[in-house]
Amino acid sequence: MSSNLLQYSGYFLNGALTTIWISWLGLLLGAVIGALVALMRLSRSRVLRLLGLVYVETFRSIPILVLLFFSYYGLALVLKVDLSPFVAATLSLTLSASAMMTEVIRAGIESVPRGQWEASRAAGMTARQRWQYVILPQAVRVIVPPSVGVYIMVLKDSSLAAIIGYVELAKAGLLVRDATGQNLQVLAIVAVLYFIINYSISLAGSALERRFHIA
Amino acid sequence: MPEIQNAAPAAGPILKFENVVKRFGPRTIIDGLSLDVQPGEVICFVGPSGTGKSTLLRCVNGLEEIQGGRIVFEGQVVDAHARSITGIRRRIGMIFQNFNLYPHLTALQNVTLVPIKVQGEARAAAEERARELFRKVRLDHRADAYPGQLSGGEQQRVAIARALATRPSLLMFDEPTSALDPETVGDVLEVMETLAREGRTMLVVTHEIGFARDVGTRMIFMNEGRIVEDAPPAEMLANPKNERTRQFLSSISRV
Amino acid sequence: MYTFSMQAILPYLSALPEAMWMTLSLSLLTALVSGVVGIFGALLRRSRLWPVRFLLGFYVEAMRNIPLLIVLYLVFFSLPALGMRLDGYYAALIALTLNSTAYMIEIFRSGLIALPRGQFEAAASQGLTGAQTLRFVVLPQILRTIYAPLGNQLIAIVIGSSLASVVTVGELTAWMGTAGSASFRYFEAFVVVAIAYLVLCQGINLLRVITGKLLFGRLEKAMRQ
Contacts of C202 in chain A (CB under 8 A): 57, 61
Whether residue B175 is predicted with pLDDT greater than 50 in this model: the reply is: yes
Which band of pLDDT confidence, cut at 50, 70 and 90, is reported for residue B1?
very low
| Residue among B232, B217, B149, B137 nearest B176 (CA) | B137
The predicted pLDDT at position C218 comes to 62
Q: What's the Rg (C-alpha) of chain A?
A: 21
Count CB pairs under 8 A between chains B and C: 70
Query: For B177-200, what is each residue's pLDDT tens digit?
Result: 999 998 899 999 999 999 999 999
**How much is the mean pLDDT over chain B?**
91
How far apart, in whole angstroms, are the C-alpha atoms of residue B10 and residue B23? 33
B90 at interface of C, judged by CB pairs closer than 8 A: yes
Query: For B118-167, what is each residue's pLDDT tens digit?
Result: 899 999 999 999 999 999 999 989 999 999 999 999 999 999 999 999 99
Neighbour tally for A33: CB within 10 Å: 18
Q: Which of A56, A65, A199, A200 to substitute to test the interface with C, most C CBs within 10 Å?
A: A65
How far apart, in whole angstroms, are the C-alpha atoms of residue C6 and residue C10? 6
Contact yes or no for B166 and C126 at CB 8 A: yes
| Residue among B20, B17, B50 nearest B36 (CA) | B17
Per-residue pLDDT, averaged over B225-249, amounts to 92
Per-residue pLDDT, averaged over A55-81, amounts to 91
Query: For A90-113, what is each residue's pLDDT tens digit?
Result: 999 999 999 999 999 999 999 998
Contacts of C126 in chain B (CB under 8 A): 89-90, 113-114, 118, 162, 166
| Residue among B200, B204, A116, A199 nearest C60 (CA) | A199
Whether residue A62 is predicted with pLDDT greater than 80 in this model: the reply is: yes
The predicted pLDDT at position C220 comes to 64
Alpha carbons within 13 A on the beta-carbon side of B7: 6
B100 at interface of C, judged by CB pairs closer than 8 A: yes
Which parts of chain C have pLDDT scores under 70? 1, 217-225
Contact yes or no for C222 and B149 at CB 8 A: yes
The predicted pLDDT at position A99 comes to 97
Instruction: Choose the closest CB to B102 out of C119, C222, C224.
Output: C119
Contact yes or no for C163 and A65 at CB 8 A: yes
Subunits with 3+ C-beta pairs closer than 8 A to C: A, B
Contact yes or no for A195 and C66 at CB 8 A: yes
A118-141 burial code (b ≥16 CB/10 A, e <16): eebeeeeeeeeebeeebbeeebeb
Contact yes or no for B96 and C122 at CB 8 A: yes
How far apart, in whole angstroms, are the C-alpha atoms of residue B8 and residue C189? 80
The predicted pLDDT at position B10 comes to 54
The predicted pLDDT at position B205 comes to 96
How far apart, in whole angstroms, are the C-alpha atoms of residue A202 and residue C194? 31
How far apart, in whole angstroms, are the C-alpha atoms of residue B78 and residue B65? 9
Strand order across the beta sheet in which B42-46 lies = B92-95, B170-174, B202-205, B42-46, B218-223, B226-231
How far apart, in whole angstroms, are the C-alpha atoms of residue B41 and residue B220? 12
Subunits with 3+ C-beta pairs closer than 8 A to B: C
Q: Name the minimum distance, in Å, from the CA of C83 to any CA of chain A.
A: 15
Q: Give the DSSP H or E segment for A129.
A: helix A127-129
The predicted pLDDT at position B8 comes to 46
Q: What is the DSSP letter of C142?
A: H
Whether residue A3 is predicted with pLDDT greater than 60 in this model: the reply is: no
Q: Name the minimum distance, in Å, from the CA of A175 to any CA of chain C.
A: 14
What are φ and ψ of residue B73, in 5° steps?
-115, 120
The predicted pLDDT at position B2 comes to 43
Which residue is closest to C118 within chain B, CA to CA? B100
Whether residue A215 is predicted with pLDDT greater than 60 in this model: the reply is: no
Whether residue A33 is predicted with pLDDT greater than 50 in this model: the reply is: yes
Contact yes or no for A70 and C71 at CB 8 A: no
Which band of pLDDT confidence, cut at 50, 70 and 90, is reported for residue A2?
low
Which residue is closest to C80 within chain A, CA to CA? A184
A119 at interface of C, judged by CB pairs closer than 8 A: no
